Structure 1
Amino acid sequence: MDNRPVGIFDSGVGGLSAVKAMLKAAPNESIIYFGDTARVPYGNRSRNEITCLSMQDVNFLRIFNLKTILIACNTITANCIDSLRAANQDIPIIGVVESAASAAAEATRNKKIGVIATQATVESGIYKQKLEDVLPGVKVFEQKCPKFVPLIESGHISPDDPKLIPVVEEYCRGLKEQMVDVVILGCTHYPLIQEAVRNYMGSDVILIDSGGESVKAVLEELSENNQKAAPLVKGNDKYFCSGDVGKFGTVANMFLQKNIQPYASEINIERF
């Protein structure tokens, strides 16, 4: 047994969808979360920029005695997970892409899979690569969705929100025309709008939550390494951000449906 915390980070608040999944699946695990809210979004930056920012994010998390780190961000996973692993070889670092791709490959019936994600994730080609590796003959249809994160962080998440509905239609129209039967939510913000996406795509289309699937991968690795927390221990969760902690707490409430203000702190990420 290992009661050390799991570190989870994202370019903003989207990674809290993975925190929510972890709290539900393993309430005895302690969590340290960092969201780089002062520098979000990462999705429209170059690979070099994303790597430099992410290195600082991991450097901050490393001040805690962690047993593993989850990159709860598709953009970071797609662009620099290998660099982060190379620089931190003494601790496991798990991303969100491989587990989501595997889940989508298992779920599809017609081998037509859609991916909605940030510009940087789509341009990396990582989902297409991973899906083709695990499912020969698959057809992958990817869609850049630059408007989603700003809408979500502004609170436009209701399935009947008049600002959200036309954007969902804009981004998902092509996937629907291609008759995909699985859509990967390739950004950890997107579970907050999955109802709107499902309403447009139809109930027969399976939505894959990349953050939730990655939590399953983390727990499997902890189990294999005998590093799961003691079952009777109550996990502690702490939250850090690089921007305004009040705004962070407000948006975090949308993801977690609880007040995290007493457990949240603002830090200067540039120091790391």
Structure 2
Amino acid sequence: MPENRRPLPIGVFDSGVGGLTVLRALRQRLPKEDLLYLGDMARLPYGTKSPQTVARYACQAAEVLVGRGIKLLVVACNTASALALDALRERFPALPVIGVLEPGAAAACAATRSGRIAVIATESTVRGGAYARAIAALRPDAAVSSAACPLFVSLAEEGWHDGPVVEAVARHYLEPLLETAAPDVLVLGCTHFPVFTATLKTLVGPQTALVDSASTTAETVAAILTREDLANAASRAGGSRYLTTDAPERFARVAAAFLDPEQAPTQVELVDL
């Protein structure tokens, strides 16, 4: 790794396009930084895979980004953040590795008034109980309930962000959770889920705050760049590059809905893991 790492990009990866919600927050918080994003579209979704498979996929994706030269890795996938951080930090001991789960838990604890927090996520994230543990570490008195919402990932990847189908799926997943848990915070525990914010707000009502990890993760990254003296000192605005393991044209089309217009990818490079 070069001695002067400040000009190197920040690497970001997810199983698909959902992690672009984190990239968007990074761009807003750190406008001078270059960003290199990898979406593992060929092996989407991670949320139904075993912990061993998720860790293997995450390390392979990280290898590509590290091979391009990065100064920090953001795991913009809640499932990989729950199951693969230890493996990634062991594989790349000199590289700061940041997940999105702990920042999301911190944001939930800061937002709740009653201590009743609901989490919607992928099957693997819910089954592993990572959010409940992370929230309990910050607020032991919190009551955490969870629901797996696997169809949300497929809908987001297809570009279906609202409408009758999304509303029906959201009601199917959330109504039992809202009735039994009565939360005042709903954690969007998958980076794909913020695209459904409008539908979810209508369903949960004004008494329940929606929390996702994107902005909190960006703040965590900014703090680490400052602490480790890794912030880019260039006066120019940073750029974004995009890699995918499958269907670059589809990636670009769907990604446009996750990003500000000036961030939408015009070129997406196909890579093989």
Q: TM-score with structure 2 length normalisation?
A: 0.94
Query: Counterpart in 2 of 1:165?
Result: 167
* Residue from 165, 171, 175 that aligns with 2:177: 175
Partners of 2:106 and 2:214 lie apart in 1 by 13
Partners of 1:57 and 1:29 lie apart in 2 by 21
Partners of 2:220 and 2:22 lie apart in 1 by 11
Q: Is the 8 A contact 2:18 2:156 kept in 1?
A: no
Partners of 1:257 and 1:236 lie apart in 2 by 13
Query: Counterpart in 1 of 2:203?
Result: 200
Partners of 1:128 and 1:168 lie apart in 2 by 22
Query: Counterpart in 2 of 1:189?
Result: 192
Could you tell me how far 1:231 is from its partner in structure 2? Answer: 5.6
Kindly report which structure 2 residues correspond to 1:59-208, keeping only aligned pairs within 5 A, or say none: 59-158=63-162, 161-177=163-179, 178-208=181-211
Q: Is the 8 A contact 1:46 1:120 kept in 2?
A: yes
Q: Which sits farther off after the overlay, 179-188 or 1-10? A: 1-10
Q: Is the 8 A contact 1:237 1:263 kept in 2?
A: no
1:42 has 2:41 as partner = no
Q: Is the 8 A contact 1:17 1:212 kept in 2?
A: no
What code does the residue aligned with 2:212 have?
D
What code does the residue aligned with 2:59 have?
M
Could you tell me how far 1:211 is from its partner in structure 2? Answer: 2.6
Partners of 1:215 and 1:12 lie apart in 2 by 19
Partners of 1:191 and 1:75 lie apart in 2 by 16
Note the aligned Cα RMSD (angstroms): 1.3
Q: Which runs of 4+ in 1 moved over 2 A?
A: 257-263
Query: Counterpart in 1 of 2:14?
Result: 10
Match of 2:182, SS state, is coil
1:251 has 2:254 as partner = yes
Q: TM-score with structure 1 length normalisation?
A: 0.95
Q: Is the 8 A contact 1:246 1:261 kept in 2?
A: no
What code does the residue aligned with 1:96 have?
V
Partners of 2:235 and 2:56 lie apart in 1 by 39
**1:19-60 deviation line (CA, Å, top 9, x unaligned):** 111111111110000000011001001011111111110110
* Residue from 213, 216, 220 that aligns with 2:216: 213
Q: Which sits farther off after the overlay, 71-80 or 212-221? A: 212-221
Partners of 1:36 and 1:263 lie apart in 2 by 16
Match of 1:263, SS state, is coil
**Structure 1 regions of 5+ residues with no counterpart?**
none
Count how many residue pairs are aligned between Structure 1 and Structure 2: 267
Q: Is the 8 A contact 1:18 1:72 kept in 2?
A: yes
What code does the residue aligned with 2:202 have?
N
What code does the residue aligned with 1:239 have?
Y
Q: Is the 8 A contact 1:31 1:235 kept in 2?
A: yes
Partners of 1:237 and 1:105 lie apart in 2 by 32
- Percent identical: 33
**1:157-188 deviation line (CA, Å, top 9, x unaligned):** 02xx0100011111111332121001110000
Partners of 1:211 and 1:243 lie apart in 2 by 24
Partners of 1:56 and 1:23 lie apart in 2 by 25
What code does the residue aligned with 1:55 have?
C
Partners of 1:188 and 1:225 lie apart in 2 by 26
Could you tell me how far 1:257 is from its partner in structure 2? Answer: 3.8
**1:207-232 deviation line (CA, Å, top 9, x unaligned):** 11123321211111111222111262
Q: Is the 8 A contact 2:145 2:177 kept in 1?
A: yes
